[in-house]
Every structure is written in structure tokens, then in C-alpha cells.
Amino acid sequence: MATELQFIKSVSSTGTSLVDITNIFTDKYDVYCIKSTTFEIVGSSSQNLYRRLLDSTGTVISATEYKSATLEGRAWDSGFLESRSNGQNYMATSGYINDNSTEGVGFVQYIYNPYDSSSYTFSQTQSSSWNDNSSRGLVMRKGISSHYNAERVTGIRYYVAAGTFTFEASVYGVQ
Amino acid sequence: MSEYGYIPEAPEQSFGNNKGIFTPKDIYDLTRADKYTNYGQLELIETQIHSSDVAQVDFTNIKADIYDVHFMTLNNIVSSSDAGLDCRLSDDNGTTFESGSYDYDIQFVQTSGTSNGETRSTSGNAFTRLGALGANANEQGNGYMYFYNLGDSTKYSFATHQSSSWNFNAHLVMYFGSLVYHQTVSMNALRVFPTAGSLTDFEISLYGIKSYE
């Protein structure tokens, strides 16, 4: 039974289009928790926060090896949006924000079995973010992902499709 | 003393990077300076357990200057009336609690009745649907909630949650969603309360998730 979080690494980055958090998954833990309270876009509107995994050499895994399903709700609009794929080249997204520093995001992501080379890597995440582009507002996302190639994963990349971003996150092992 | 007979410069100490042999006083001093490696970064701030029926449960020492993410567990929440379970934030140490500027989008699924749906608002008066409480025997709510940036006066206060309740229609219902207090205010207290009646049983724990630069 998981009893505690053990701090592994923090990252803080400004003005980049991607952030690699390297060498965080080891044989010490099976489950990891990543929390973030800072995701700010510069120079582009309405960007998603994307994720890909890093392999045993620290190289980004950008092949079509991810399945994901995300449910999105919007406080200003009824219903929900479903985004799902049985094969794409990134994990489920967290955060959907505009170019405004008072916006931002809060999310926690759990990752399962990344270091086990004989297992797929699984993930779940839930985020709360604010996007005021075109009078929007709060965006809720809850998603699951699986990297369906059994290989050792040692890190994760966060990135945006356009512009640059400010990002902070901390990684924990779940003991 | 080094192997070459001189006293080397003391190494820089930090979490996860402690070097040397430490006396109890060294450990005490480094711990106070937040530079000693003590694992266990889910740090309990406070647990409140029912001892008498109350209209609300207040946490007035949330240490928002230390933690940028808080985690709250809600266990065996029972109300004297059929009610929802809500939460409000305070920026004056619990003297008053904000009753506006809350937005949320919450999805639900349940075992009977309307199978699924949405509760949302751009002008809510609280973080809502932490649970659905019934007044009959065995009707209770359980769940967890993350809070983000409560103490940051430059950012909105976000939250995410998920709960599982045996509600007043005798249905098992799951709520999950995202919530925001969309003002840039530094919060320093929070309140959990039923929307009707009083809490006749509960165990609520608030944790901070510690991080290091």
C-alpha cells in the first residue's frame, strides 16, 4: 500500500517550447506522481500542454505508440468533449490555456510501471486550467494514457505546439 | 581531515545531496534549514475527526506559504440532512470565507437514475460536489481533492477532485471535476461544509505536498 511521496526532482523553465524531465524513473518505484502549478504561454493563444515519454537513453518517444482518452468539461459550456485515440504520438493532454499569466493550471499526473521494460507504461491525470480566450474560462480534463510498447522509460517531456511556455513541476516516487 | 592532511571546504548540503558524517545537531540544523534528506513529502498538516456535530470544518493553518499543492482526504462524511458537500476559501485566516467567484465543471456518473451528467457554473458560491450526503444509515461521502496555488497572490486558486458517495437517493454516485477561484488572492484557510444540516460524522485530513527548488 502506498504510504508516502518521496521527492525526486523539480524543474522550472521559462521561454522554451519543451521541457525534458530526465532520469526520474528508476527501479526504486513502480508508481510516480507529478504535480504542477505553473504553465504559462507566451506568444500564442490557446495552447495544450502535451506529453511524451523519454526512453532509456533519454530520447523522446514520438512514434505512434500511445493510446489515450480524455474527457473535457467547460464551465461556460454545457456537455463535455471526448478526445480519444487508439494510436497517436503523444499522451493525454493537461491544461488548455491562453496567453495570460494570471491563467494557468493545476494538475497531478500518476505514471505506472515506466521503468519496467517488460510492461506498458500507464498514466492518468486530472487538470484544472483557465483559458479566457473568446470569453472562455475554466477547463476540466481527466485522461488516461498508455504507451503500448514495452520498453524502459526514464523521463517525460512536456511541450507546446506553438509559442514558448513557462513551466514548473515536481516529481515524486510513491512508496 | 582529508587523506592529504588538510580540512576540506564543507560541501554544500541540500535535499537529496547530503555528504559527510552528521551529528544529531547537524541533522537538526540541516532539517530546520530544509537541507536534510528526509523522505515523506506528503506532509500531514491536520486531521479533524468528528467529536460533536458541526455545521462546518475549518482548516485555518493550511501553511499556504510552504505548499503550492494541498491534498485533502474526506472519509466517512455523514450529514444530518440530505445535502451536498462544499468547500470555501478564506484570505483572512478563517474570519470570513469567500462566497463568490468560484467556477467549476463537474461530471458525474451514478448507479441508478440519470446515468451521467454535468454540474457547472461560472458564478458559483463554493467549490462544490466534494460529495453527496444522505441522512439515512450508511449514506456517506468519501473522496479526495487537490488544491493548487492557494497561497500565490498572482495566480488563481485551482482544484481538482473526485468523490464516491452513497447519496440521498440511495444511489452510488461519483463526482469528478475541476474548480477555480478566479481571483488572484492569497488564501490561508478553507472550510468544508454540508449545504444543509450538520456533519454528524467525518474524518478530514489536509496534507501539503512538499517540493524543493
**Same domain flag for B29 and B100:** no
- Whole domain around residue B31: which residue ranges? 1-39
**Same domain flag for B114 and B21:** no
Read off the pLDDT band of A1 (50, 70, 90): very low
Read off the pLDDT band of A102 (50, 70, 90): low
Q: What domains can you pick out in chain A, each with its CATH number? A: 5-22+30-129+141-174 (2.60.120)
Exposure b/e, B130-146, CB count within 10 A at least 16 = b: bbbbbeeeebbbbbbbb
Task: Give the distance from residue B15's alpha carbon to the nearest chain A alpha carbon, in angstroms.
Answer: 9
CB pairs under 8 A between A and B: 132
**Alpha carbons A52 and B83: distance in angstroms, whole number:** 42
**Same domain flag for B16 and B52:** no
**Same domain flag for B51 and B17:** no
Q: What is the mean pLDDT of chain B?
A: 92
Cβ within 8 Å, pair B179-A76:
no
Averaged pLDDT for residues A1-9: 79
User: In CATH, what number is assigned to the domain containing residue B166?
Assistant: 2.60.120
A100 CB contacts (<8 Å, ≥6 apart)?
A132
**Same domain flag for B56 and B15:** no
**Same domain flag for B84 and B13:** no
pLDDT at A107 over 90: yes
Here the ipTM equals 0.91
Averaged pLDDT for residues B4-25: 83
**Residue B108 to residues B164, B179, B191, Cα–Cα distance (Å):** 10, 14, 23
Write the pLDDT tens digit of every residue in A111-168. 999 999 999 999 999 999 988 777 788 999 999 999 999 999 999 999 999 889 999 9
**Same domain flag for B6 and B91:** no
What number of CA atoms fall less than 13 Å from residue B19's CA on the CB side? 7
Read off the pLDDT band of B1 (50, 70, 90): low
**Same domain flag for B71 and B112:** yes
Cβ within 8 Å, pair B41-A108:
no
Q: What is the mean pLDDT of chain A?
A: 91
pTM over 0.90: yes
B82 compared with B114, residue with greater pLDDT: B82
pLDDT at A101: 64
**Same domain flag for B170 and B107:** yes
pLDDT at A99 over 90: no
**Same domain flag for B182 and B201:** yes
A142 contacts in chain B (CB < 8 Å): 107, 176
**Alpha carbons A5 and B118: distance in angstroms, whole number:** 32
Of A52, A129, A73, A54, which Cα lies nearest the Cα of A96? A129
Q: What is the maximal distance between C-alpha atoms in chain A?
A: 47
Question: Would you call B106 an interface residue with chain A, using a CB distance cutoff of 8 Å?
Answer: yes
Give me the number of domains chain B comprises.
2
**Same domain flag for B85 and B188:** yes
In chain B, which among 111-170 make CB contacts under 8 A with chain A?
Answer: 118, 120-122, 146-149, 152, 154-156, 158-160, 162
